[in-house]
Amino acid sequence: MKTLAVRFQNVSKSYGPTRALIDLSLDVGAGSIHAILGENGAGKSTLIKILTGVLAPDTGSVEVFGERLEHAGPGGSGRHGIATVFQELSLVPHLSVEDNLFLSEPRRGLFGLIDIGKQRREARPWLDLVGLTDVRPGTHVSELPLAQKQLLEIAKALARRPRILLLDEATASLPGKDVDRLFDILRHAQVGGLSVLYISHRMSEIERIADRCSVLRNGQHIETFATKSRSYADVCRMLAGRDVSQIFPPRRPAKHDAPVLLRVDNLSAVDLVRNVSFTLRVGEVVGLGGLEGQGQKELLLALYGAIRPSGGTVEFAGSRFQPGSPAQALSGDRSLMLLPDDRKTDGLLLSDSIEDNMLLCVKRKLGRWGVRNAAAEDRIVAAAVDQLAIKIASPKAPVSSLSGGNQQKVLLARLTLNNPSLYILMDPTRGIDVGTKQEIYSLIRSLADQGAAVLFLTTDLEELIGMCDRVLVFYGGTVCRELLGSAITDVGILEASLNLKNDAKTSEAAA
Amino acid sequence: MKFRPRNLPLLLGTAVLATVVLIYLSVHPRGLSSFVVQSYANSAAPLAFAAIAQTFPVLTGGLDLSIGGIIALTNTLASELVHGSPLEVIAGIVIVLGVGAACGAFNGALITYGRIQPIIATLASGAIFSGLALFIRPFPGGDVSVELADAATGMIFAIFPVCVAAIAALLWLAGLLLNRTLTGKGIFAAGSAPNAATLSGLRIDRSIMAAYIMSGIFGALAGLFLGFQTLSGDATIGVPYTINSIAAVVIGGLSLRGGRGSLLSGVIGAFALRGIGAVLLFSGSPPLAQPLLEGMVLIVAVCAASITLVRQPNRLNVFS
């Protein structure tokens, strides 16, 4: 039998009454790339925290290459050769790239002082390896875009020369070409004997990279199998414990005669958005695709009044629209509202209650003379919880007590309660399990069917293909191509994203 | 120093200082002279030490309200110990600095192990330190080595103030701690991303301890230098330094949010703040109106340092 890199034996862990892991046993073979799948709340994060030494299991033991893992804090797992790429990133914003890269083991020189020159030299190959070739090691991490931070987080883990690498949703904000590069690095390192634990929601990625795959559900180990030995439907059934027949809701034929809700004309802002023009009709779901950092986010923030445009006009519901702040954009009869991509820092007030988070934008409208209308609040919160099927113990509980998927639903409820005419959704399914994704997709579709319009930014190709009536592909700060109907395919979007065919501005498959 | 957006607050602080110095020299009755440089430097030096002391806790995202108390305690202690034979003087200085470090360690322990908010912990400990100072010296008095005092407040070759050279040397040493050790990296991390640093295996608690110990040592240096200036000890001498040290670091461009910034901020801010006071005095404004005017100038100076936000097109960046 092959040697084992990690062996969990009868591990259990509870947080108060919640049982996160129940008598879990799981083996990870040395030198393999082993994927762990599970919905949010299935116990994946707890598994990682136990393996990184942040948490100690209540019962059971963890062995790493035959040695019992001591739970002596986050520094401890490093001694066993375990390095982790954390989903929420373990970078210090106001330190330089090189400092962050070697944060656990700084390169020292005279008198044990950190040798900046040496760090800078040694940083270069690691940065090049993950594709950060144009990043200077002296740059502060806070000045990097999210995708580059994620790459740096990967470089940081690799720089520790681990025997076991844990990747927790490491590709959540990476564009496709960086995912390809990461997979090349992993395969290469695998040959050198590295064992990889790969945690992801993206089934397509797991099929590409993993040798074996384990499914967790409700804190229990359901099954481990060779990756391609099970169909997608089988895996979904294991994950959800039920049949997930169709992920995306059925699409209606596009209405070309619906009234125009939003007309953007030559909009420019902060050097990242350049002369963007498009229209959006009532009832449409329009996707924004393209590589990360092509101005999509800034465009949406400019529409929302968070970024002041430097040129161009926006017409919304028939009149000139120039919000000075998000507060203006989301008030009024015909409003638009934005769902930020980072729900924890830009979306939720984490320590506030579920109901307060939902009611954040409508509280003032409900109450009178600044006095809260508790009865009405309770009523609409209960209705929203019901409508979105949010699993909560009490609306008074802090929103941080919810799983990621339910947190996202709370945030979506905040939008729907304000009843905007235009929904701007930035990566609404980031880091969310399949079941909740499906619910969010059908919610988006029903919002559009009820007469709203949706602008949908996502890094996931499948979502663009499955959800959107039209896709605007961004390149270099502007819409480089508009894809309609059956022209929305992987190849079509990728070609446009990389700006491969510049001649055809609009390509529509013959209907 | 290369221009980078992150250096802007510090550069603006420097601009404020340069403006203040120019006005100072133009309104000073004696113009630019060796004596004027000496007296300016000596009047600003204690505040500069206090502001450097304040910088460390601020970088961790905290605040030290006990700096005045530490200054009072070490100043009264210096008036008891720092005189007599050279050996006694050296021993006295070591004890004074050691007591400063101990005060800082006490603060650090309250915050990291006692889990008390920095503001509350240092407010309380500051009262304790002030109380001890009063116990040592209920009335101003005592004795500080005159030879050493003359040397510390004097000039090198009659052109360069000794205290500025000392500040520069100590700043270099403190900079090594801050930028070239893991403990120093942890001080920055404590103020911006403590969880990330902990996940990377850094000992944040040690870094916070180190920050408050450094604060205590620089507070003691301020107390000691005040002793050199007054040649005596006074248990009430530290009171204005707590708030002024905060004002100084802010003028120098340090963000009270923590996690980023430079030790230079404190020095620049201290010299600017002292300069503003002197300018108001020389320009003949009524002494009773001084606090009022100083406050107004302070607001203008700090607003000037954040002028870049006016042109910020992204509202999400205004408050972060």
| Per-residue 3-state assignment (H helix, E strand, C coil) for chain B | CCCCHHHHHHHHHHHHHHHHHHHHHHHCCCCCCHHHHHHHHHHHHHHHHHHHHHHHHHHCCCCCCCHHHHHHHHHHHHHHHCCCCHHHHHHHHHHHHHHHHHHHHHHHHHHHCCCCCHHHHHHHHHHHHHHHHHHHCCCCECCCCHHHHHHHCCEECCCEEHHHHHHHHHHHHHHHHHHHCHHHHHHHHHHHCHHHHHHCCCCHHHHHHHHHHHHHHHHHHHHHHHHHHHCCECCCCCHHHHHHHHHHHHHCCCCCCCCCCCCHHHHHHHHHHHHHHHHHHHCCCCHHHHHHHHHHHHHHHHHHHCHHHHHCCEHHHCCC
Pick the more confident residue, A47 or B306.
Answer: A47
CA–CA distance, B164 with B152 (Å, rounded to integer): 10
Residue length of chain A: 511
- Residue of chain A nearest B313, judged by CA positions: A308
Q: What is the pLDDT along chain A (511 residues), one digit of tens a residue?
A: 468 889 999 999 887 666 788 898 999 989 899 999 876 667 888 888 888 888 888 888 888 888 888 776 666 677 788 898 987 778 998 899 999 999 888 888 888 899 988 999 999 999 999 989 999 998 999 888 888 898 999 999 999 899 999 998 888 778 778 889 899 999 999 888 899 999 876 777 888 889 999 988 878 888 898 888 887 777 777 776 655 446 788 777 766 788 889 999 999 988 788 899 999 999 889 999 887 778 888 999 999 988 888 888 999 888 888 888 888 888 877 888 999 988 888 888 888 888 888 888 887 677 777 777 888 888 888 998 988 888 888 888 888 888 888 889 999 999 998 888 999 999 888 878 778 888 899 899 999 888 899 999 987 777 888 888 899 998 888 898 898 888 887 777 877 877 765 444 444 433 3
- Residue of chain A nearest B173, judged by CA positions: A113
Contact B197 A92 (CB under 8 A): yes
For the record, the structure tokens of A454 come out as: 């949706």
Closest CB from A94, A104, A113 relative to B181: A113
- The structure tokens 């904000």 sit at A173
Closest CB from B5, B196, B260 relative to A91: B196
**Sign of the C-alpha dihedral computed for residues B88, B91, B92 and B93 taken in this order:** positive
Contact A95 B185 (CB under 8 A): yes
Contact B315 A106 (CB under 8 A): no
Pick the more confident residue, B222 or A368.
Answer: B222
**Does the CB of B257 have a partner CB in chain A at under 8 Å?**
no
Closest CB from B185, B197, B314 relative to A270: B314
- Residue of chain A nearest B176, judged by CA positions: A113
CA–CA distance, A165 with B135 (Å, rounded to integer): 59
CA–CA distance, B192 with B184 (Å, rounded to integer): 13
CB proximity under 8 Å: B 124-163 to A: none
Contact B188 A84 (CB under 8 A): no
Long-range contacts of B161-169 (CB under 8 A, 24+ apart): B161/B37, B161/B38, B161/B41, B161/B42, B161/B45, B163/B41, B163/B42, B163/B45, B163/B225, B164/B41, B164/B45, B167/B45, B167/B48, B167/B49, B167/B52, B167/B267
Question: Hey, of A50, A90, A92, which one would you mutate to test binding to chain B, going by the most B CBs within 10 A of its CB?
Answer: A92
The pLDDT value recorded for residue A354 is 87
Distance from CA of A89 to the nearest CA of B (A): 7
Please check the confidence at residue B3 and state whether its pLDDT lies above 70. no
- The structure tokens 């259990």 sit at A12
Chain B CB contacts of A305 below 8 Å: 315
Contact B188 A94 (CB under 8 A): yes
Q: Say if strands A195-199 and A33-38 run parallel, antiparallel, or are unpaired.
A: parallel
- The structure tokens 């499955």 sit at A466
**Does the CB of B115 have a partner CB in chain A at under 8 Å?**
no
**Residue A447: what are its φ and ψ, rounded to 5°?**
-60, -45
What is the greatest pairwise CA distance in chain B?
64
**Does the CB of B180 have a partner CB in chain A at under 8 Å?**
yes
How far, in Å, are A317, A328, A373 from residue A332 at the CA level?
12, 8, 20
**Does the CB of B198 have a partner CB in chain A at under 8 Å?**
yes
Please check the confidence at residue B78 and state whether its pLDDT lies above 60. yes
The pLDDT value recorded for residue B56 is 97
* pLDDT, average across residues B19-48: 89
**Does the CB of B30 have a partner CB in chain A at under 8 Å?**
no
The pLDDT value recorded for residue A241 is 67
Distance from CA of B258 to the nearest CA of A (A): 10
Please check the confidence at residue B137 and state whether its pLDDT lies above 50. yes
Residue length of chain B: 320
**Does the CB of B173 have a partner CB in chain A at under 8 Å?**
no
pTM for this entry = 0.76
**Residue B72: what are its φ and ψ, rounded to 5°?**
-60, -45
CA–CA distance, A450 with A452 (Å, rounded to integer): 6
Domains annotated on chain A, with CATH: 4-240 (3.40.50.300), 246-335+420-504 (3.40.50.300), 348-418 (no CATH)
**Chain A contacts to B (CB-CB under 8 A):** 52, 54, 74-75, 78, 84, 86, 89-95, 99, 103-104, 106, 112-114, 116, 140, 142-143, 156, 269-270, 301, 305-308, 310, 325-326, 346
Question: Hey, of A52, A90, A105, A328, which one would you mutate to test binding to chain B, going by the most B CBs within 10 A of its CB?
Answer: A90
Contact A52 B199 (CB under 8 A): yes
CA–CA distance, A76 with B12 (Å, rounded to integer): 44
Using an 8 Å Cβ cutoff, are B54 and B266 in contact? yes
Distance from CA of B316 to the nearest CA of A (A): 6
Closest CB from B201, B260, B313 relative to A308: B313
Using an 8 Å Cβ cutoff, are A295 and A274 in contact? yes
Contact A92 B193 (CB under 8 A): yes
CA–CA distance, A329 with A415 (Å, rounded to integer): 12
* pLDDT, average across residues B44-56: 97
Chain B CB contacts of A140 below 8 Å: 6
Closest CB from B180, B196, B201 relative to A113: B180
**Does the CB of B189 have a partner CB in chain A at under 8 Å?**
yes
Chain B CB contacts of A307 below 8 Å: 313-316
Question: Hey, of B315, B318, B319, B320, which one would you mutate to test binding to chain A, going by the most A CBs within 10 A of its CB?
Answer: B315
CB proximity under 8 Å: B 201-220 to A: 201-203
**Does the CB of B172 have a partner CB in chain A at under 8 Å?**
no
Chain B CB contacts of A89 below 8 Å: 196
CA–CA distance, B167 with B165 (Å, rounded to integer): 5
pLDDT 10s digits, B84-109: 999 999 999 999 999 999 999 999 99
Q: Counting one residue from A and one from B, how many pairs have CB atoms under 8 Å apart?
A: 89
Distance from CA of A285 to the nearest CA of B (A): 26
Closest CB from B176, B201, B313 relative to A74: B201
Pick the more confident residue, B173 or A73.
Answer: B173
Question: Hey, of A84, A85, A103, which one would you mutate to test binding to chain B, going by the most B CBs within 10 A of its CB?
Answer: A103
User: Residue B4: how many CB atoms within 10 A of its CB?
Assistant: 12
pLDDT 10s digits, B239-258: 999 999 999 998 888 888 88
